[in-house]
């Protein structure tokens, strides 16, 4: 069963065409093409080492593919730059939590809004007028996200001391603070218990429903993937072996072979 | 029991993000400032001013500078003394060669010159990090001191290389007594420490810490690594440059390259390690520890251990000093500032067990 997104699925906003990425002799991605539509939840699945994380790294510019083009909102590029992707409204979370360990939860989430802050370091040093106002305005937005993700009680806590599930949630909060139009989630539910997974699913669906954010997520829990995503891409050994709505993918022979092993 | 935030409700985000959010802390801070600005100048002896308080404040300023770079932005540097030297020599040359320039403006220009040199030597940080960057900044340390010794223009072709700093005259008032110098240094250090704290708690500081903690994640949320790192180098060197100018004008009275050797760089690095990386308070605590402990030990040894042969007593000081450094780092690797924080947490309950 697929849940319909609360907002109608719109036009294609991101197109990846013939993406190939190699590290020396290792081909991580080979000639992969797929697209993402506005407001949809697009899942990327595949066995370990299939190239899922590499795919996200290509989308937001951490890796530069050797071949292929990326078209985001009409702009065709050979590759993305990380700050360019951020400026265009692409935010992400990481598989291994990449929070700023020496900072509080609040500061981590405030950092997510750095692109919305225009005042210079001299104004910060003087802490007068504009810089102060800007800080307070952004704090208001951050507090909305803190309420949304139900992490009010840990606002001032140092992020390194939080349990894993909460750290994942703070990382999502930091990504949301940028008010992205496209959110990349790298295994947001990995290593969580059932309850935490349910919470995270709810947050992902709420983000999609309330803010209309387009979501690309990597996930290993097939139940979750089939339940919340609109369309699914399946990768295996850097090749694309399936693409479509969850029911299509579930019944595809190539996908079953990749996951369960083919009987030859 | 006495130190707690119970009953202090914050109704604005501004109050919530204040430097001292708790009333007792604000009280303690203002009391401390009154002591530093009023009580100390009225009571302290000239020796206390010129041998202890002035160097303590100046080195604390340099430590704030290094803390911005190493503690906040995570870029290890061994060249802080060299940037201090740039500030001192630039100030000297501005006063010498620009007729009628106000001294404080010359100090500012000295700081800006140090910032420019800092950016130059910060460029390697875009490609290398950690110990390798430390070695690159070590090159700055040797190169700058060598340059200032070899090129006569900087020292105005003085035969000895040691030049007397011009008189400290600001707005027609000559700061020639230790007390006046102390007040001048204290004012500059207090204002610059406030500015550093303000930067640290705003977007600038968060960007630095993001680069320090996880550079890939920082890049992905739109922080430009290059500009953040170079800004840290520039601001840090500016602080070191002003500290260097004060060191020459308000403490030594002379401007000489040898005063800014590697030894001083190491002392400043120890200050932030012992005081606490990434805290402004830690810069002061570390500077106090490094400057005061040897003096106190010296007094202690001379008062209580007179019977010891001089060969033992003269070696006793560095041994005890080294032992204390090791002890503090074992007890709290995050420095004295963290100890202070832990102490405050304990004080919330004290003297009750729960």
Rounded to whole angstroms, the Cα distance separating B336 from B319 reads 20
Question: What's the pLDDT score for residue B149?
Answer: 87
pLDDT digits over B174-214, tens only? 888 889 999 999 999 999 999 999 999 999 999 999 999 99
Q: Is the Cβ pair B216, A62 closer than 8 Å?
A: yes
- Rounded distance, CA A160 to CA A100, Å? 8
Query: How close does chain A come to B24, measured CA to CA in Å?
Result: 20
Determine whether the interchain pair B218/A100 forms a contact, defined as Cβ–Cβ distance below 8 Å. yes
Q: Which secondary-structure segment (H or E) carries A66?
A: none
What integer pLDDT is reported at residue B69 of this predicted model? 95
| Interchain proximity A83–B214, CB inside 8 Å | no
Optimal mutation site among B194, B198, B212, B221, interface A, most CBs of chain A within 10 A: B221
Task: Output the pLDDT for position A176.
Answer: 95
Closest chain A C-alpha to B320 CA, distance in angstroms: 32
| Inter-chain touch B222–A103, beta carbons under 8 Å | no
Of A101, A110, A119, the CB nearest to B206: A110
DSSP secondary structure string for all residues of A108-154: HHHHTTGGG----HHHHHHT-HHHHHHHHHHHHHHHHHHHHTT-GGG
**Nearest CB neighbour to B204, from listed A99, A124, A174:** A124
Report yes or no: B226 at the A interface, CB cutoff 8 Å: no
Inter-chain contact B196–A132, Cβ cutoff 8 Å?
no
Chain A interface includes B216 (CB < 8 A): yes
Instruction: Flag if B203 and A117 touch (Cβ within 8 Å).
Output: yes
Contact B219 A125 (CB under 8 A): no
Does the CB of B190 have a partner CB in chain A at under 8 Å?
no
- For residue A158, give the DSSP letter: B
- Summarize pLDDT for B65-95 with one digit per residue, the tens: 999 999 999 999 999 999 999 999 999 999 9
- B14, B213, B235: residue with CB nearest A100: B213
pLDDT band at A69 (very low <50, low <70, confident <90, very high): very high
User: Minimal CA–CA distance to A213: which of A221, A205, A202?
Assistant: A205
Say yes or no for a CB contact (<8 Å) between B196 and A125.
yes
Residues A143, B164: Cα–Cα separation, whole Å: 56
Segment A7-15 mean pLDDT = 86
Q: How far is B248 from chain A (nearest CA, A)?
A: 26
Report chain A residues whose CB lies below 8 A from the CB of B234: none
- For residues A167-186, average pLDDT: 94
pLDDT value, residue A10: 86
CB contact under 8 A, B203 and A135: yes
pLDDT tops 90 at residue A159: yes
Instruction: Please give the DSSP secondary-structure letter assigned to residue A211.
Output: I
Which of A54, A100, A101 should be substituted to probe chain B, the one whose Cβ sees the most B Cβ atoms within 10 Å?
A100
* pLDDT of res. A4: 46
For testing contact with chain B, the best of A85, A88, A125, A178 (most B CBs within 10 A): A125
Residue B294's pLDDT is what? Answer: 86
Which pLDDT band holds residue A5 (cuts at 50, 70, 90)? very low
Residue A197: strand, helix, or coil: helix
Confidence of residue B344 (pLDDT cuts 50, 70, 90): confident
Q: What is the pLDDT of residues A72-89, one digit of tens each?
A: 988 888 888 898 899 999
Q: State how far the Cα of B43 lies from the Cα of B35, in Å rounded to an integer.
A: 10
Q: Scanning the structure block, which residue is given the tokens 């919530």?
A: B16
pLDDT band at A264 (very low <50, low <70, confident <90, very high): low
Q: Which of A59-63, A155-159, B303-307, B337-341 has the lowest mean pLDDT?
A: B303-307
Q: Pick from A186, A182, A191, A156: which is nearest to A171 by CA?
A: A186
Closest CA to A113 of A95, A133, A91, A82: A91
Interface contact flag, B221 A110, Cβ < 8 Å: no
pLDDT for res A263:
60
pLDDT tens per residue, range A212-224: 999 999 998 888 8
> Is B195 an interface residue toward A (CB < 8 Å)?
yes
Q: Compare CB distances from A115 to B214, B217, B222 and report the shortest one's residue.
A: B222
Which pLDDT does position B122 carry in this prediction? 92
Report the residue from A86, A111, A119 with minimal CB separation from B210.
A111
Q: Identify the CA nearest to B291 among candidates B303, B311, B308, B274.
A: B274
- CB B221 to CB A111 under 8 A? yes
Whole-number CA gyration radius for chain B: 21
Closest CA to B125 of B83, B67, B75: B75
- State residue A7's pLDDT score: 67
In chain A, the percentage of residues whose pLDDT exceeds 70 is 96
Check if B224 contacts A (Cβ < 8 Å): yes
Mutate to test the interface with B, among A56, A111, A122 (most CBs of B within 10 A): A111
Give just the sign of the alpha carbon dihedral A237, A240, A246, A248.
negative
pLDDT at B329 over 90: no
| Residues B236-254, mean pLDDT to the nearest whole number | 94
pLDDT on residue A262:
64
Contacts of A150 (CB under 8 A, 6+ apart): none
Answer whether A86 sits within 8 Å of B221, measured CB to CB.
yes
Mean pLDDT (chain A) is 90
d(CA A260, CA A33): 24
Find out whether B252 and B165 touch, Cβ atoms under 8 Å: yes
**Do strands B169-170 and B163-164 pair parallel, antiparallel, or not at all (unpaired)?**
unpaired
The full 3-state SS of chain B, as one line of letters, equals CCCCCCCCCCCCHHHHCCCCCCHHHHHHHHHHHHHHHHHHHHHCCHHHHHHHHHHHHHHHHHHHHHHHHHHHCCCCCCCHHHHHHHHHHHHHHHHHHCCCCCHHHHHHHHHHHHHHHHHHHHHHHHCCCCHHHHHHHHHHHHHHHHHHHHCHHHHCCCCCCCEECCCCEECCEECCCHHHHHHHHHHHHHHHHHHHHHHHCCHHHHHHHHHHHCHHHHHHCCCCHHHHHHHHHHHHHHHHHHHHHHHHHHHHCEECHHHHCHHHHHHHHHHHHHHCCCCHHHHHHHHHHHHHHHHHHHHHHHHHCCCCCHHHHHHHHHHHHHHHHHHHHHHCCCCHHHHHHHHHHHHCCCCCCC
Sorting pLDDT into bands at 50, 70 and 90, what band is A3?
very low
Average pLDDT (B134-161) is 87
| CA pair distance B151, A149, nearest whole angstrom | 62
**How buried is residue A180: exposed, middle or buried, by Cβ count under 10 Å (0-12/13-18/19+)?**
buried
Span A1-89+180-264: which CATH code?
A: 3.40.50.300
Q: Chain B residues with CB inside 8 Å of A178's CB?
A: 221-222
What is the predicted ipTM?
Answer: 0.90
- Please give the interface size between A and B, counted as residue pairs whose CB atoms are below 8 Å apart: 101
> What DSSP element (H or E) covers A234?
strand A231-236
Q: What integer is the mean pLDDT of A153-171?
A: 92
pLDDT single digits (tens) A114-154: 999 988 999 999 988 889 999 999 999 999 999 999 999 99
Q: Which helix (H) or strand (E) holds A8?
A: none
User: Could you tell me which of A47, A79, A54 has the C-alpha nearest to residue A241?
Assistant: A47
Q: Which residues of A touch B17 (CB under 8 A)?
A: 135, 139
SS3 A95: coil
Cα(A82)–Cα(A62) distance, integer angstroms: 6
For B202, the closest of A103, A131, A143 (CB atoms) is A131
Domain ranges of chain A: 1-89+180-264, 100-178
Q: Where are the domains of chain B?
A: 44-261
To test the contact with chain A by mutation, choose from B204, B222, B277 the residue with the greatest count of A C-beta atoms within 10 A, namely B222
When scoring B216, B217, B338 by the number of chain A Cβ atoms within 10 A, the one with the most, hence best to mutate, is: B217
Query: b/e map of B137-150 (b: 16 or more CB within 10 Å)?
Result: bbebbeebbebbee
Position A1 scores a pLDDT of: 36
Chain B CB contacts of A127 under 8 Å are 198, 202
Partner A contacted by B223 (CB < 8 A): yes
pLDDT for the residue numbered B87: 95
Please give the average per-residue pLDDT across B284-298, as a whole number. 90
């Amino acid at each position: 069963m697929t849940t319909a997104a609360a907002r109608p699925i719109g036009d294609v906003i991101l197109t990846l065409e013939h993406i190939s990425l190699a590290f020396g002799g290792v081909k991580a991605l080979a000639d992969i093409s797929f697209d993402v539509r506005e407001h949809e939840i697009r899942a990327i699945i595949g066995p370990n080492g299939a190239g899922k994380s590499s795919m996200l790294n290509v989308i937001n510019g951490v890796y530069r593919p050797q071949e292929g083009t990326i078209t985001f909102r009409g702009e065709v590029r050979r590759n993305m730059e990380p700050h360019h992707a951020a400026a265009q409204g692409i935010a992400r979370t990481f598989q291994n939590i990449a929070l700023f360990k020496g900072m509080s939860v609040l500061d981590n989430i405030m950092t997510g809004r750095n692109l919305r802050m225009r005042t210079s370091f001299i104004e910060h040093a003087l802490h007068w007028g504009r810089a102060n106002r800007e800080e307070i305005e952004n704090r208001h937005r951050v507090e909305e996200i803190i309420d949304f993700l139900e992490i009010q009680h840990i606002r001032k806590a140092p992020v390194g001391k939080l349990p894993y599930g909460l750290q994942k949630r703070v990382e999502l909060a930091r990504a949301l603070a940028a008010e992205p139009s496209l959110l990349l989630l790298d295994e947001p539910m990995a290593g969580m218990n059932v309850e935490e997974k349910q919470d995270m699913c709810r947050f992902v669906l709420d983000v999609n429903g309330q803010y209309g954010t387009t979501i690309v997520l990597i996930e290993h829990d097939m139940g979750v993937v089939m339940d919340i995503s609109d369309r699914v891409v399946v990768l295996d050994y850097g090749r694309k072996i399936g693409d479509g709505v969850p029911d299509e993918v579930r019944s595809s022979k190539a996908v079953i072979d990749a996951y369960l092993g083919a009987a030859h | 029991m006495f130190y707690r935030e119970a009953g202090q409700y914050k109704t604005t985000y501004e109050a919530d993000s204040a430097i001292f959010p708790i009333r007792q802390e604000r009280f303690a801070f203002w009391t401390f400032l009154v002591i530093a600005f009023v009580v100390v100048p009225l009571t302290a002896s000239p020796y206390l001013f010129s041998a202890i308080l002035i160097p303590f404040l100046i080195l604390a300023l340099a430590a704030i500078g290094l803390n911005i770079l190493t503690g906040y932005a995570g870029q290890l540097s061994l060249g802080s003394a060299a940037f201090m030297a740039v500030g001192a020599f630039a100030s000297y040359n501005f006063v010498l060669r620009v007729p009628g320039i106000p001294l404080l403006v010359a100090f500012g220009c000295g700081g800006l010159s140090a910032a420019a040199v800092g950016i130059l030597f910060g460029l390697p940080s875009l490609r290398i990090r950690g110990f390798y960057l430390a070695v690159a900044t070590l090159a700055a340390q040797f190169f700058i001191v060598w340059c200032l010794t070899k090129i006569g223009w900087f020292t105005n072709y003085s035969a000895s290389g040691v030049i007397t700093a011009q008189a400290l005259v600001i707005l027609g008032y000559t700061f020639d007594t230790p007390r006046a110098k102390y007040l001048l240094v204290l004012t500059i250090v207090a204002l610059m420490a406030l500015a550093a704290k303000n930067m640290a708690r705003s977007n600038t500081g968060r960007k630095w810490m993001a680069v320090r903690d996880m550079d890939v994640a920082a890049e992905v949320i739109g922080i430009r690594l290059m500009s953040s790192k170079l800004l840290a180098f520039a601001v840090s060197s500016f602080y070191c440059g002003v500290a260097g100018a004060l060191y020459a004008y308000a403490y030594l009275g002379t401007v000489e390259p040898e005063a800014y050797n590697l030894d001083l760089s190491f002392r400043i690095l120890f200050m932030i390690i012992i005081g606490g990386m990434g805290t402004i308070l830690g810069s002061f605590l570390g500077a106090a520890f490094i400057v005061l402990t040897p003096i106190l030990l010296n007094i202690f040894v001379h008062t209580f251990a007179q019977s010891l042969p001089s060969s033992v007593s003269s070696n006793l000081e560095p041994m005890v000093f080294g032992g204390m450094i090791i002890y503090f780092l074992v007890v709290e690797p995050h420095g004295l500032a963290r100890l202070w924080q832990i102490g405050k947490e304990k004080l919330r309950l004290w003297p009750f067990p729960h």
